[in-house]
Amino acid sequence: MDGLIQDIKLIGEEIPWLKEIRAKGRNAFIKQGIPTPKTEAWKYTKPNRFFETPFSYTPSNLISISSNIKLPFDCYQINFTNGVFNPFTSSLPQGIEVMPIIEAIMFTPKVREKISNIAKVDENPFVALNTGYLNEGVYIHISSNVDIKKPLTIVYETLCTDRNDMYNLRNLIHVEKNSSVQIVEAFYYEGKVKSSYFMNVVNEIYLEENSHLRHYKLQDEAFKSAHIAFNAVKVEDNASYKSFCLQKGADMARNESYVELSEKGAHATVDSAYIMNGWATIDTTTNINHLKPYTTSSQLVKGVVGGQAKGVFQGKIHISPNAVKTEGYQLHKAMLLTDDAEVDVKPELEIFADDVKCSHGSACGELDKEQLFYMQSRGISEDEAKQMLIEAYLNDVIAKVDDEKIIEWIKLSLNSNKSE
């Protein structure tokens, strides 16, 4: 834990309640510590090996900001460069508001109340650490009764430095009733990878009655980095949260989705894909909580693992005693490309109600040699044929994304091989 907790002056340090939120986070982190292989929730991913390198919080005045990443689809774009929010340039339509998180919580008590409400500091050490450094990130607010057509994109770009930097980003997304919006997150790096960095992101998402959020994410971090993301989502009456995350970068990564279907008719789709090589460990963890009747959830997770890499899927569906007439589905499938590739899977169903429909499944396979030969026998090279078969394998989960342009971007990202 050396260096992770530093005595650094953050904005609003003189405000007692803000100081207290951070202190609670830091204390909860110190109490829990970095997970070890004995920590049940992290036993496959073993993040401790990564923290043998000391990381430190880097004050933003050390960071030179310059970003020119432009995504290949029409969107409203927000940029973070090395964990620092870039002043917003493009204009936003009516009904959508974006501001630095620290401003939002300092000046709006209603926002303040929502911090650490669903992303609890005593249940996850990295959420605790993130809260301890609560400073950077954005507050996104969507007013009621609006339908935002163009996606809002958050690009997190890391320009590689020779320091071992740690970035703690905290976003709060609040969609008021009867509104819908698409939010895309893209994690990229630039430059030669000289050192390691640690990206620690927490999203707290509140979806009011009959609101709809589609949340798409690409994790393409540098191969020496660690990426840990915690997405905590509360879904109210007839609201829906539909997400897809493609993870392909980082040395050690976890994308965790914690969802509370807290009122009748709430729905969550939590889909993912991962594709990896080398020695990486990529973890997809879900925890879907059906708290009320007539709530539904569905998860499809597909992975392709090569080299000596390790894929991890931990998927939990919890159904509370009164949550009758609920439906929860989960399916994980992985393709292993080499003998040394590994997948660890832990599906869990906790059902405390009768009259529910639930299922989970997991399957593991390898590239079909007959298909490979068939393609080669038509002139297609072995590498190209493999790439086509991998894309075909992941096709069904990617095709569940609602937007054609975003699907195209994800497929393109699948084949870009900067992180080799």
Partner 1 sequence: MTAPLLEIEDLYAGVDGKEIIKGFNLTINAGEIHAIMGPNGAGKSTLSNVLCGKPGYYVTSGNVRFKGRDLLKLSPEERACEGLFLSMQYPVEIPGVPITSFLKHAVNAIRSYKGEPELDTMEFIKMVKAEGKKLGLDNEMIKRAVNVGFSGGEKKRLETLQMSVLKPSLAILDEADSGLDIDALRVVAEGVNALHNENNALLVITHYQRLLNHIVPDFVHVYADGKIVKTGDKTLALELEEKGYAGFVKEK
Give whichever of 324 and 388 is closer to partner 1, judged by the CB atom. 388
Residue selected from 91, 370, 417, 420 as contacting partner 1 according to rule CB under 8 A: 370
Size of the site for partner 1 (CB under 8 A): 23
Residue selected from 88, 163, 388, 418 as contacting partner 1 according to rule CB under 8 A: 388
Position 376 contacts partner 1 (CB under 8 A): yes
> How is 230-269 classified by DSSP, letter by letter?
EEEEEE-TT-EEEEEEEE---SEEEEEEEEEE-STT-EEE
Position 393 contacts partner 1 (CB under 8 A): yes
Position 382 contacts partner 1 (CB under 8 A): yes
Position 396 contacts partner 1 (CB under 8 A): yes
Residue selected from 41, 389, 405, 418 as contacting partner 1 according to rule CB under 8 A: 389
3-state SS, residue 47: helix
Candidates 25-33, 103-111, 199-207, 393-401: pick the segment binding partner 1 (CB under 8 A): 393-401
In what helix (H) or strand (E) does residue 129 lie, and over which residues does it extend? helix 125-132
The structure tokens 């937007």 sit at 403
Q: How far apart are CA 180 and CA 406, in angstroms?
A: 17
For residues 219 and 188, the answer to whether their CB atoms sit within 8 Å is no
For residues 210 and 241, the answer to whether their CB atoms sit within 8 Å is no
Position 339 contacts partner 1 (CB under 8 A): no
Give whichever of 192 and 369 is closer to partner 1, judged by the CB atom. 369
> How is 270-321 classified by DSSP, letter by letter?
EEEEEEE-TT-EEEEEEEEEE-STT-EEEEEEEEEE-TT-EEEEEEEEEE-T
* 29 φ/ψ angles, rounded to the nearest 5 degrees: -70, -45
What is the CB neighbour count within 10 angstroms for residue 354? 8
Give whichever of 61 and 377 is closer to partner 1, judged by the CB atom. 377
For residue 135, the minimal CB distance to partner 1 (Å) is: 44
One-letter amino acid of 308: Q
Position 381 contacts partner 1 (CB under 8 A): yes
For residues 279 and 311, the answer to whether their CB atoms sit within 8 Å is no
Residue selected from 33, 395, 405, 408 as contacting partner 1 according to rule CB under 8 A: 395
Candidates 90-98, 309-317, 318-326, 390-398: pick the segment binding partner 1 (CB under 8 A): 390-398
Strands 327-336 and 296-305: what pairing?
Answer: parallel
For residue 380, the minimal CB distance to partner 1 (Å) is: 5
Give whichever of 190 and 391 is closer to partner 1, judged by the CB atom. 391
Which tokens sit at 219?
């994790």
Candidates 28-36, 122-130, 148-156, 373-381: pick the segment binding partner 1 (CB under 8 A): 373-381
Q: How far apart are CA 64 and CA 168, in angstroms?
A: 17
Residue selected from 371, 400, 405, 411 as contacting partner 1 according to rule CB under 8 A: 371
Q: How far apart are CA 79 and CA 186, in angstroms?
A: 10
Candidates 60-68, 216-224, 334-342, 386-394: pick the segment binding partner 1 (CB under 8 A): 386-394
Residue selected from 103, 123, 344, 391 as contacting partner 1 according to rule CB under 8 A: 391
For residue 54, the minimal CB distance to partner 1 (Å) is: 45
Give whichever of 212 and 332 is closer to partner 1, judged by the CB atom. 332
For residues 79 and 98, the answer to whether their CB atoms sit within 8 Å is no
Which tokens sit at 140?
């996104």
What x/- string results for residues 350 through 369 when contact with partner 1 is judged by CB under 8 A?
Answer: ------------------xx
Contact footprint for partner 1 (CB under 8 A)? 368-371, 373-382, 384-385, 388-389, 391-393, 395-396
